[in-house]
Amino acid sequence: MTAEDELVHTIKHCVLFIQKNELEKAEQLLHVALRQAQQIHHQLGITYIYDVMANLALQREQLEKAKNLFVAVTQRIMTDGASEDDPRVIHLSVKLARVTHLQKDYTTAQIGYDWCLEKLKQLFERDPSDNNKQLLAMAEDWYGRLFLDVDRCEEGLRLMKTSLDRMKEIPDVEKEHLVVQLNDIGTVCDRLGQTDESIQYFNEAIEMANTLEMDDLGTMYVNLGRAYMKRQLLDAARKSCGHAWKLGVMSKNKEVKKEAESCIKQINNLL
């Protein structure tokens, strides 16, 4: 086995650990892979490992580390001749905007998202592939969430809906991702007093989540129950929160059980 074969083998193991959510093991092995790549001066390998490390740091909310690594990857590929219009550079810039957003540096993040969306829309016009559509949708969703964080919910909701519409058009998109988007959009509609619309989104989220094994299903039923309560549809509200309570008991989720009990208590007070 050549040194390059060994490097590929190590990287494959890193990716497997990440897929199995064994992130600490992945982190340790990535450092082994980096040493291997540096010893044989495998520049593409080094760049790839930095990129995996950056994404792992973002996943683990090690934000400063993620930022430094994303910057390093961007610098490396631009030194190799990539322009700022290169899809890889735009992709990294979206991740950097996300990191600064999570660091609550909203002004810098907004400048980053604005730049990325402009570039992504141009890229998507040139090449309307599913990959580019998914990247554009991801950027819109994240930007929408920034607007929620700065209390500009109408703008946030508009971007999140656009993102959801794009995501639904992508054949192999993860259903779990769509469920989270649907539930979150329902929550924003509810916050803005658009109760009927929130009920539609919560119902769609629950319908899809019922085909998957999702821990958040009980919370979605509570959200739906509270929305029904606002519309004075108390039977439907009781049924929804009652189902949430059952799910909470079955999954030993104390938080969901408590939320459901609080919801049922509120309904009883309205009768």
Domain CATH for 133 = 1.25.40
| 69 and 91 part of one domain | no
| 58 and 16 part of one domain | yes
| 268 and 184 part of one domain | yes
| 70 and 88 part of one domain | no
Which of these, 102, 18, 105, lies nearest to 63 by C-alpha position?
102
Residues 160 and 181: beta-carbon distance below 8 Å: yes
| 75 and 127 part of one domain | no
| 264 and 196 part of one domain | yes
| 190 and 270 part of one domain | yes
Of 138, 173, 208, the residue that ends a domain is 173
* Rounded to 5°, angle at Cα 172 from 49 and 25: 30
Dihedrals phi, psi of 62, to nearest 5 degrees: -90, 80
Q: For the chain, what is the domain count?
A: 3
In angstroms, the CA 72 to CA 126 distance is 28
Of 82, 98, 114, the residue that ends a domain is 82
The residue range of the domain holding 53 is: 1-82
| 165 and 88 part of one domain | yes
| 66 and 98 part of one domain | no
Of 122, 142, 173, the residue that ends a domain is 173
Q: What is the 3-state secondary structure (H, E, C) of the chain?
A: CCHHHHHHHHHHHHHHHHHCCCHHHHHHHHHHHHHHHHHCCCHHHHHHHHHHHHHHHHHCCCHHHHHHHHHHHHHHHHHCCCCCCCHHHHHHHHHHHHHHHHCCCHHHHHHHHHHHHHHHHHHHHHCCCHHHHHHHHHHHHHHHHHHHHCCCHHHHHHHHHHHHHHHHCCCCCCHHHHHHHHHHHHHHHHHCCCHHHHHHHHHHHHHHHCCCCCCCHHHHHHHHHHHHHHCCCHHHHHHHHHHHHHHHHHCCCHHHHHHHHHHHHHHHHHC
**pLDDT tens for each residue of the chain, 271 residues long:** 798 889 999 999 999 999 998 999 999 999 999 999 999 999 999 999 999 999 999 999 999 999 999 999 999 999 999 998 899 999 999 999 999 999 999 999 999 999 999 999 999 999 999 999 999 999 999 999 999 999 999 999 999 999 999 999 999 899 999 999 999 999 999 999 999 999 999 999 999 999 888 888 999 999 999 999 999 999 999 999 999 999 999 988 899 999 999 999 998 888 7
| 51 and 113 part of one domain | no
Q: Can you give the CATH number for the domain in which 65 is found?
A: 1.25.40.10
pTM of the model: 0.90
